[in-house]
Amino acid sequence: MAAPDDSSRAIADLSAWLKVPLERRGAQGEFASVGLTKDDAARAADLLWEDHLAHIRVSREAEMREKIIHAAGREMKFETVYFGDRKDAPHGGRSLFISMHGGGGAPAQLNDSQWRNQVALSKAYRAKEGVYIAPRAPTNTWNLWHEAHMDALFDRLIQNCVALEGVNPDRVFLLGYSAGGDGAYQLAPRMSDRWAAVSMMAGHPNETSPRGLRNVPFSIQVGEKDGAYKRNTIAGEWAEKLAVLRKADAGGYEHFAEVHKGKGHWMDTEDRKAIPWMEKFTRNPLPERIVWRQDDVTHTRSYWLAVPPNQPKAGDEIIAERKGQSFSLTLGEGQSASVMLNDDMANLDAPIVVSFSGKEAFHGPVKRSIGVLTRTLAERGDRRLMFSAVAP
């Protein structure tokens, strides 16, 4: 158990540290490793989050005004359309719809025209409320939306919209048409802990797998006559795969699929039905079950799981479940993982049990700390993916 007096002093030290201008702050110091009480962990998380928001509002306001996101050595232009007034946003904030254009391996002028078309589609894709952002892919390559830099660009865009547009991080939706649909297939499982739901229109999955969609409601729509790259056939195959996965795991793999009769690659905006379907869903950042499958672009964090930086490789898979104080992970050969914890998941004042592939790997108390809160906020920039403790 954390010592209340020590915990309280750590919060006071954190408050003093946060009052120092960011450019003059040093390392956090000893207070970062002091054990916190439940209430003080919540207080520390709030202080750190408000500081994070304040920094974004100052440092990134210009890029949002100029409509250019900078990350991973790339620039991504975007256009914004608003559905409804900000003052009418629901409790928790507005929805965000990130809408990816088609095109691909083609001259810049063609991809520019596809971008303008995706902006115009906001009229057909109009939601009840929210922010509709149509980004312009940073490159003109065939794999526009699933190059490695896209994850960092979308992470930054989402963080900016939460801080500056009043977006609810649990109401972020991704959709894409044609090459943008390729991106939806790829980024839905690859960045699964970001999305409330994803909609794929007229795309192709390439090498990716649907297994990582356990907690991401996923919509598939293609034209019946869209035979290029076998988009229509593969869409049906993915729908079948998702149905099999859902039958075996009734709490996951929510999906909707439709092959539009008589339509080719262009579906005459009949695919707009994806919007009200997606609007039904809200992200659960702390799911009780996770299927984390690494894509060719790998990650070290997903939901409440973390792996060492040098471990991930394409095709790696971890299945994790939590129930009360117990966490069970199924790992592949040579894999290791950590469970990130907060007080919404378990009683952190009681012992935690973590098992790896049926063998107990950790059984005991965990310590909440400012250091873990700071690190997990820096990694994801998401208040709902902040954790105060880690095991083992």
Domain ranges in the chain are 1-22+29-59+285-392, 67-279
In terms of pTM, does the model score above 0.95?
yes
Whether pLDDT at 11 is above 80? yes
Name beta bridge partners: 259: 222
Under the banding of pLDDT at 50, 70 and 90, the label for residue 184 is very high
Mean of pLDDT over the chain:
97
Pick the closest to residue 326 from 352, 350, 289 (CA basis): 352
Mean pLDDT of 83-99: 92
H-helix segments, 121-148? none
Please enumerate in sequence order all residues whose Cβ is within 8 A of that of 118, keeping only pairs 6 or more positions apart, or say none: 99, 100, 101, 102, 134, 177, 180
Residue whose tokens read 């869903």: 281
Is 240's pLDDT higher than 80?
yes
pLDDT of residue 117: 98
Q: What does CATH list as the number for 67-279?
A: 3.40.50.1820
pLDDT at residue 350 in the model = 97
| pLDDT score of 367 | 98
Q: What percent of the chain has pLDDT over 90?
A: 97
d(CA 64, CA 80): 10
Alpha carbons 33 and 17: distance in angstroms, whole number: 14
Q: What is the average pLDDT across 242-254?
A: 97
CA-wise closest residue to 180 among 101, 255, 125: 101
pLDDT at residue 260 greater than cutoff 80: yes
Residue 386 above 90 pLDDT?
Answer: yes
Confidence of residue 209 (pLDDT cuts 50, 70, 90): very high
- Give the sheet arrangement for strand 317-323, strand by strand: 289-293, 317-323, 326-330, 352-356, 359-364
Identify the pLDDT of residue 316. Answer: 96
Predicted confidence at residue 88, as pLDDT, reads 80
Q: What is the DSSP string of 164-190?
A: HS-EEEEEEEEEEETHHHHHHHHHHHH
